[in-house]
Structure 1
Amino acid sequence: MNFLNPSNYGYVPLAEWIEKYVKDWLFAQRPVFKKLSVPIESTLDALDNFFNFVPLPLVIIFFVFAAFRTNGIKFAIFTLVSLVFIDLLDIWEETMTTMAMIVTAVLFCCLIGIPLGIAASRSNVFEMILRPILDVMQTIPSFVYLIPVVMLFGVGLTPGVIAIIIFALAPIIRLTNLGLRQVTKGVKDAGKALGCSKFTILYKIELPLALRSIMAGVNQTLMLSLSMAVIAALIGAGGLGLTVYVGLGRLDIGQAFVGGLGIVLIAIIFDRITQKIIK
């Protein structure tokens, strides 16, 4: 008898259960989740309009100045050449849309992740519950995120950003929790001795001391958001990810390479600037 053959003893029809029960439930919740996505959609639309409205020279000057202040003249020159090159490749509008997506995703990751990290640092039980959830979020294939997002939010730019937020959320929660837990008890006791409230100790003492760890989480969230931008194009997200996806669909290697190169260049610029801010 072959004990490895499921037909000999039956099997657990998990796929059928999910298809029958979970799928119907998710579709029933779509109106609720559509309303929850309104703040993300509003922020994304505002940033997209803003980035595409600001004249190209002003954007270049801003990033060159930020690169110079954080990394010096050599990286400022690299930033200038990279942004001018992106414009010469005729993907400036797509780059600004991608930038709006990434800024929106990082903003909402911070709004969600930092409070969760603070809560995890305050409660061992909450951290114990949160840890396996974060493990799953960081190990599950990125394409899998698209399935519930499409079922709950449909397709388009906003669902793409929501998929990015879910994918990139874990690092900032983990590193906020880690940074706050590394603040020594003596420092917090000193604040208590001075009559500071718990909120004052958190705001004036713990968060400033944990800022380097929190900013490292922001940096990792930023990098994960950029990596997810291409995959999010599969559900209708625009920007450089759509350029890559369309190029691959048409077997246009040149177009796909140009879109990927644009993502690489802005990833390097964002990474180097935020890394120096951490230090």
Structure 2
Amino acid sequence: MTTIEDNRARGPHADDAGRRALGEDLSVARTGFGAMRLPMRDFGIPGVDPRQAVSVLRRAVELGVDHIDTAAFYFHQDVTANALIRTALHPYRDGLVIATKVGPGRSRPDGEWLSPAGPAELKTAVHDNLRELGLDHFDLVYLRFQPHDDGDLAERFGALAELRDEGLIRNLGVSNATAVQLAEAQRIAPVAAVQNRFSVGSRTDRAVLEACTEQSIAFVPYYPLVGKGGDEAVADGAVLEEIARRYEVSPAQVKLAWLLSLSPAVLIIPGTSSPAHLEENVAAGSLKLDPADLAALDAIS
């Protein structure tokens, strides 16, 4: 029913979920790491001691994670995800993919959201991220949209495409994108990844996932553990709890295994500042759910 027991003895590894291509010339483990929860528990809420955050990052790489997702707007007061990543992992090992997002930012130190960035501001944001992380180029940069964003995509995505042509960005992605925006971006430059909200409790972007699957574009769900009520602690009904009990895993691990089962395009980036939760998240990559259980999870509404 599952291979997770077999892997408990040797410990989890990010490759247990398999690997997939990212763009034309990169390969990453399907289990990555999202850095949002390192400097903050949520926007406006402080995170753990930075020393623990650094320890979690180093442990993630020890567990085989080679895809870390960050953004300059992941910060609380003077603690930033980018600085924590640089402290923990620089100089970066070969093959470690660091992805960032640019678009609407947040002002420091109060954290207020700013207006959508124009082409020049987007280019500045990429350079700022490179400096903060100590990189000379990015393997992946997403253009992040706001909900109902009807601004000029061509100018903004085109600005990132120019940085790609200059060698500062290896692959381009879009975040919070509709299927129409994805198609529009592809007319400007190749899209290697889409990062949209998706989980057992939030499936409104199914059409985007299907488009990514058909076109071999990586689909990277954010907030992968959020339940129907928007709270990670809220289980999505008795079905999820029962499946977790029978496999002797946590509901969070079931949610991650379900995401990985949806499509070979899916790359998960669960974030945490807890060493124990990190181990659980990586271990979820070896959890194989029976077809009947997958169907029961698919039926949750």
Coarse TM-score class (shorter-chain normalised): under 0.3
Q: Which has the larger radius of gyration?
A: 1
Using structure 2 for the length normalisation, give the TM-score: 0.22
The structure with more helix, counted as a fraction of residues: 1
Using structure 1 for the length normalisation, give the TM-score: 0.23
The structure with more strand, counted as a fraction of residues: 2
